[in-house]
Structure 1
Amino acid sequence: MRPTTLNYPVNPDYGNGACCRRITVDAADGQVTAYLTDTFHEMRCTVNHDGEIITAISGETIRIPTSACPGAVGQLRMFVGLPIATPTREFYRGTLAARHCTHLLDLAVIAVRQCGRPYGTTRYDAEVPDETSGETTMEIRRNGEQVHRWLARDGRIAAPAALRGRTLERGFAAWASEIFDADDFEAATILARTWLIAIGRRYRVADAAGQPASMNPQMFGRCYAYSMPNITTAVFTGEPERNVPPRI
């Protein structure tokens, strides 16, 4: 579930912007690199493979919210040796996701999906405007072409009619994986994740630099940085917001 409140100073400019995320995936011979940049994060994941299994995987955290986040890079090594055809759900089963950086894990899964596919570049651009009236129109494009455009309110899709009432929170993957094909499910997941982090736009996160991450108990257990023992020493980096991806 998305946290309802976070212990940061309120952002007086909320309502005049959007949370944006861009993911670029470059597939070449034996290697796929996925790069993410959004309002609050910037990171990269590279997967090497022999056409059948993952032979190496590495990550880089460039712009991150807590001092503990870089430690999650080493967690990716548990995927070395897995078949590149491993179903997406296997990367998230049980409590496995909480052992990783949420966004770095997502990048790794996206990169693995591209292994063995035709070489080239795929780019996703997602945007979730500030929810000032209780609803927002969120959108994601793949290589410039619209894939999904949803009106959302209180964590549920209000339109299009075929998706009305569908959740963006816990239970999202279950219904979305049944309705969409693999590529459109990937796009849907990126858009839902962008909505998840968009709550950060309500706050001035840069003002929390140096403060303990434990000041936000609603986040406990959600990811690597907010799990024990990392949460006991993690502090906020105070990285300012960056509207790196262009508005859709």
Structure 2
Amino acid sequence: MTLFRRSVDIVSTQDQDEGEVRAALEDDFHHFRVRAYHRANLIVEIEGQALRYPYSACPEATGQLQHLIGMPLSSIAHSVTRQTDAQHQCTHLLDLAGLAIATAARRTPRCRYDIRVPRRINGKTSPVLELDGEALLNWDVNGSIIENPEPFVGIDLRAGMARWALNNLPEELAQAALLLRRSTQISIGRVYNLDLQEHASSTGRCYSQQPVRAPSALRIKGSTWDFGDTPDALCKTDQEWLQQAARFL
């Protein structure tokens, strides 16, 4: 039985030295969009939309994406973390922006990731990532450790994986691996009734969880949805918006 699903759908259009990229992310806990314009290989405009989110402060984080203006296009999605402090961004909006920028840098017209993380049994699960409908990654995970297959055996999802992946894997595989890592980690939230929370925790790990605003970042009750039996519904409402990117040129 699938416990958690996430999809990321990206459309990129370019003409000579300028273009637009649009990206949508939807999972059990979130629904975000990012749109970016680039010229002469630099991000010149960017905006985010928060459509479904866990805390009342999350939409405010869309403005934090402005820190990416002036960033060079990079085929490494993780490069956004060198441009801005991830702890003062929405984690998932920033991840989505990185994926969008990398897609534009590679001049890839369209790509879609679909992820499923089965329910854990005795701490074990086998998350799967598909790229454009084809299975790309399929891990056996015990706790936070990947047990299969190579070259991921022994990698800890919680410690040093980003550096290892970027140093040891081809760019696009590293990108997929970090996306699957994020999904596998946050899927644990499905075990809990998050609506029992009053507000975000003051962990300092993201925009809403900064101690200065966590007490006022109230839990949006009912924001967790179940896509276990309806995977086709993920990003379905984003399709018309995504296709509008083609009208830029």
Category of TM-score, reference length = shorter chain? 0.7 to 0.9
Partner of 1:10: none
Report the alpha carbon displacement of residue 87 of structure 1 after superposing the two structures with TM: 5.1
**Alignment gaps of 5+ in structure 2:** 234-249
Partner of 2:12: 27
Q: Quote the Cα distance in structure 2 between the aligned partners of 1:51 and 1:95.
A: 21
| Counterpart secondary structure, 1:47 | strand
Q: Is the CA contact 2:124–2:143 (under 8 Å) kept in the aligned structure 1?
A: yes
1:224 aligns with 2:207: yes
Q: Is the CA contact 1:51–1:84 (under 8 Å) kept in the aligned structure 2?
A: no
Q: Cα–Cα, structure 1 residues 97 and 115, in superposed 2: closer, same or farther, change >3 Å?
A: same
Report the alpha carbon displacement of residue 89 of structure 1 after superposing the two structures with TM: 4.4
User: Aligned AA for 1:32?
Assistant: V
Q: Quote the Cα distance in structure 1 between the aligned partners of 2:4 and 2:50.
A: 19
| Counterpart secondary structure, 1:71 | helix
Partner of 1:175: 164
Report the alpha carbon displacement of residue 119 of structure 1 after superposing the two structures with TM: 5.1
| Counterpart secondary structure, 1:31 | strand
Q: Quote the Cα distance in structure 1 between the aligned partners of 2:190 and 2:33.
A: 23
RMSD: 2.0
Equivalent positions of 1:25-174 (< 5 A) are 25-29=10-14, 30-85=19-74, 88-93=77-82, 96-118=85-107, 120-174=109-163
Q: Is the CA contact 2:67–2:84 (under 8 Å) kept in the aligned structure 1?
A: no
Q: Quote the Cα distance in structure 2 between the aligned partners of 1:146 and 1:51.
A: 34
User: Aligned AA for 1:213?
Assistant: A
Q: Is the CA contact 2:36–2:45 (under 8 Å) kept in the aligned structure 1?
A: yes
Structure 1 vs Structure 2: percent identity of aligned residues? Answer: 32
| Counterpart secondary structure, 2:159 | coil
TM-score (norm 1): 0.85
User: Aligned AA for 1:72?
Assistant: A
Which of 207, 222, 234 in structure 1 is aligned with 2:217? 234
Partner of 1:18: 3
Which of 190, 194, 199 in structure 1 is aligned with 2:183? 194
User: Aligned AA for 1:23?
Assistant: V
Aligned length: 226
Q: Cα–Cα, structure 1 residues 70 and 242, in superposed 2: closer, same or farther, change >3 Å?
A: same
| Counterpart secondary structure, 2:209 | coil
Q: Is the CA contact 1:38–1:245 (under 8 Å) kept in the aligned structure 2?
A: no
Report the alpha carbon displacement of residue 154 of structure 1 after superposing the two structures with TM: 1.1
Partner of 1:3: none
Q: Is the CA contact 1:51–1:116 (under 8 Å) kept in the aligned structure 2?
A: no
